[in-house]
């Protein structure tokens, strides 16, 4: 019942219009059918693939890779000329980072990436007033929010072309945690949210800014997790080299609340629904490994550690109550 109401009140992010038919007979519902993340594979076979994102980052099973050194950030330390456009695309809040023709690109390389990657856009995934909403989880725990900065391998000209290659895209993921103080580096983006309350709305931000100010502290940027995965929305292309920073970015409860309570999903009929819980849950790791960077702190780095908790299980058994 609750579910019917939910889907009936618009098309939340988790609901993707299933194409086809639409047949207007017998009061058939319109194009939008419930199609949460667990149904995406029916829509796009790729979404049921073996290298999907996000994943749970289980710190007991990380494999350290000494080749994962410092990432080289280009253009992250200066506000570029021109304008940045913030958009409510109906699924998330997205900031387009395409530079003006002739301007220097914002790009990343190094850090074990097989080439140079140019920034395309950034967007966020969040929860609701009562739950955390990151996509990646750490040891099974979701954090309040997650930022994704999407980059395209400079050897490909279009997103479509890049999606056809395992190393076509590189996404930087940052977790957020609630801090006492507001993070003024997010003021420009948060200030634009009220202008894009409704799906489809866009606003040119008051100014561009140094993209690096959105990231964790610079001294922490060599601490990250790396794995091969996918886009986290359909078509779920398995074309992403993921870098997830270990250190979360601090943001105040009020700032977090601005995301949860200002923007809306597309309206279809009744009052628009607040955009909340726009995350995909963790997908099976299957045969993949998550690597930790040279400087990452969270790596046990020894194959024995994972077995310690297993040895304790029989001891804990009698104490755990089962219904
Ligand atoms: C939500 O995130 C906070 C970190 O800001 C963490 O302390 C808390 O345990 C998380 N809650 C859940 C239910 O995972
Ligand atoms: C954003 O919204 C505020 C008030 O809601 C308004 O004063 C301002 O002009 C808007 N900015 C743009 C660029 O539309």
Consecutive 10-residue averages of pLDDT for the chain (323 residues): 30 44 33 63 90 97 95 95 93 89 85 97 96 97 98 95 97 98 97 96 94 97 98 96 98 97 86 91 97 83 46 44 43
Nearest ligand to the CA atom of 191: 2
The torsion angle over the Cα atoms of residues 264, 144, 297 and 167, rounded to 10 degrees, is -20
Residue 47 Cα to ligand 2 middle (Å): 38
Ligand 1 atom 10: residue of nearest CA = 143
> According to the model, what pLDDT value does residue 17 have?
43
R_g (Cα) of the chain, nearest Å = 21
Nearest Cα residue to 172 out of 208, 118, 102 = 118
**91 belongs to the catalytic site:** yes
Tell me how many degrees the CA angle 109-290-149 measures, rounded to the nearest 5. Answer: 40
pLDDT of residue 4: 26
Which helix (DSSP H) or strand (DSSP E) does residue 45 occupy?
none
- Ligand 1 atom nearest 142 alpha carbon: 14
CA 87 to chain centre: 16
Give CA–CA dist 256/189, Å, rounded: 12
Helix (H, G, I), strand (E, B) or coil at 177: strand
Q: Write down the catalytic residue from 91, 123, 136, 151.
A: 91
Distance 92 CA to ligand 2 centre (A): 20
**pLDDT at res. 189:** 97
The full 3-state SS of 179-218, as one line of letters, equals ECCCCHHHHHHHHHHHHHCCCCCEEECCCCCCHHHHCCCH
* Atom from ligand 1 closest to the CA of residue 177: 5
Distance of alpha carbon 265 from alpha carbon 92, whole angstroms: 9
Choosing from 76, 156, 186, 227, which is the catalytic residue? 156
For residue 98, the model assigns a pLDDT of 81
CA of 141 to the centre of ligand 1 (A): 7
Instruction: Give, as one character, the DSSP assignment of residue 274.
Output: B
Determine the Cα–Cα distance for residues 292 and 245; give it in Å rounded to an integer.
Answer: 10
- 221: Cβ contacts below 8 Å, ≥ 6 apart: 70, 71, 73, 215, 245
Burial class (CB in 10 A: 0-12, 13-18, 19+), 175: buried
**Predicted pLDDT of residue 300:** 57
Using most ligand atoms within 8 A of CB, pick from 142, 143, 279 the residue to mutate for ligand 1: 143
Cα(95)–Cα(206) distance, rounded to whole angstroms?
13
Q: What per-residue confidence (pLDDT) applies to 299? A: 52
* CA 23 to centroid of ligand 2, rounded, Å: 41
**Contact residues of ligand 1, CB 6 A cut-off:** 132, 141-144, 177-178
Q: Would you give the DSSP letter of residue 73? A: E
**pTM confidence score:** 0.85
Q: Is 123 a catalytic residue?
A: no
First to last CA, the chain: 27
Q: Which residue segments constitute the domains of the chain, with CATH numbers given?
A: 51-268 (3.10.200.10)
Q: How far is the CA of 309 from the centre of ligand 1 (A)?
A: 22
Per-residue pLDDT at 266? 87
């Amino acid at each position: 019942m609750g579910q019917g109401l939910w889907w009936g009140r618009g098309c939340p992010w988790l609901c993707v219009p299933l194409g086809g038919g639409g047949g207007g007979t017998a009061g058939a519902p319109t194009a939008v059918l419930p199609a949460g993340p667990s149904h995406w594979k029916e829509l796009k076979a790729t979404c049921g693939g073996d290298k999907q994102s996000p994943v749970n980052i289980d710190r007991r099973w990380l494999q350290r890779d000494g080749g994962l050194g410092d990432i080289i950030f280009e253009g992250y330390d200066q506000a570029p000329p021109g304008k940045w456009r913030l958009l409510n695309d109906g699924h998330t809040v997205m900031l387009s980072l395409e530079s003006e023709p002739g301007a220097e690109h914002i790009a990343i390389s190094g850090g074990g990436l097989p080439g140079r990657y140019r920034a395309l856009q950034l967007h966020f995934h969040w929860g609701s007033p009562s739950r955390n909403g990151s996509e990646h989880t750490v040891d099974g725990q979701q954090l309040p929010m997650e930022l994704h900065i999407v980059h395209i391998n400079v050897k490909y000209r279009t997103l479509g072309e890049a999606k056809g290659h395992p190393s076509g895209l590189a996404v930087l993921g940052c977790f957020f945690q609630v801090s006492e103080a507001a993070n003024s580096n997010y003021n420009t983006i948060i200030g634009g949210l009220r202008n894009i309350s409704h799906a489809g709305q866009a606003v040119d931000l008051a100014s561009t800014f140094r993209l690096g100010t959105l990231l964790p502290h610079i001294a922490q940027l060599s601490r990250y997790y790396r794995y091969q995965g996918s886009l986290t929305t359909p078509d779920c292309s398995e074309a992403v080299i993921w870098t997830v920073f270990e250190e979360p970015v601090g943001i105040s409860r009020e700032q977090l609340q601005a995301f949860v309570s200002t923007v809306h999903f597309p309206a279809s009929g009744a009052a628009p629904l607040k955009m909340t819980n726009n995350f995909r849950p963790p997908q099976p790791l299957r045969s993949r490994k998550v690597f930790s960077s040279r400087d990452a702190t969270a790596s046990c780095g020894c194959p024995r550690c994972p077995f310690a908790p297993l040895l304790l299980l029989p001891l804990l058994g009698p104490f755990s109550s089962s219904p």
